[in-house]
Structure 1
C-alpha cells in the first residue's frame, strides 16, 4: 500500500479537511494542464471534480489499494478525461499535454494508466447503457441493483420468464455495443 492511500481514505470518509488538502495540492496542476490545452477554468474544475468522483467510486471496490502516488493516479486520469473530452466535444488539437512536467516513476505512471483505463471503460459502458431503449435500461439497472430476479420481475410487472429472456437480449445488445467500441477492440 502506498503512503498516499490516505487521500483515498479522505474521499471514502468524506473528510472535508482531507479533500481540501487534495484540492490545495493538485487542483492547480490539473487547471494548468487543461488551460494549456484549449480548456477553461470551469472545464478544469469539472474534470478535477469528475475525476475525484471516479476515484471515489473505484475505491469502493474492497480490493482497491493505491500502489502508486496519488498525484500520478489523479493527473493521469484527469489527462485521459480531458483528452476524451477534447476528442468528443470540440475536436480540438492538443497543444501541450505532456507528462514531463510531472515527476512520476515509470511504474507509477503504468499503474495509474491501468486504473485510468479501467475508469474510462466503466464510464464508457455506462454511456453505452444509456443508448439502449428505456425498457432495456430499466431491466439492466434493476438487475445490477438487486440480484433477486423474481422480485425485479414483480416490481416491473413482468413474468419471471419474460424478464430473464428480455434481460438476456438486452445484455446481448449491450455486449455487442461494447465489443464494437474502440476501447474494447483488441
Structure 2
C-alpha cells in the first residue's frame, strides 16, 4: 500500500498517521521533533544514543495515546512530546542516580499524568512569553536591541559594550542599558495586556 506524500502535516494528521501505523507520519515526527530531544538530552548529561532511546519511548507513549479515541492534545504536539521526553529523561537520570532524591520525589508514578499536564501548561505559557518578548525586542529598535542582545545573549562585558557603542565610560553604558531594559519592559507589558 502506497502512502500519500503530504507537504504539510498538522498535529492531528501526525497523530492519526501514527495511530494508523503510517511510516510517513513517523518519519515526519522524527524530522521535526528528534532534534529538540537530542538537544535536551545532550544538554543534560546524556548521549545521542540516550536521546534516541528516550525519543523512541516518547513515541511509544504518543502511539498508545493516539490509539485512545478520547485522547485530545491540550497543547501543541511539539510541546507534548518535549514534556514526555523531559519526564522520561528525568526518570532515567533518577534511575542512574545522577539526579538525587528530587527527581525521585518529583516523578511519582501516580502523579505522572498530572505532572505532564502541568509541564505542558507551563511550557506553553513560557513559549507564549518568549514569543511576546521576541516581538517586543523586535519593536525596541536600535541601538537598544543590539545593546541588550550584546549584554544578555552574547554576554559581552560592560567595558566591551562601552567601546562598541562609543560611550564615555561604563557607567554611561550601564545607564543606557537600564533605560533600554525599561523600554523593553514597557513594550512587553503593553503587548502582554492586549
Query: TM-score, normalization: structure 1?
Result: 0.48
The structure having more radius of gyration, on CA atoms, is 2
Query: TM-score, normalization: structure 2?
Result: 0.46
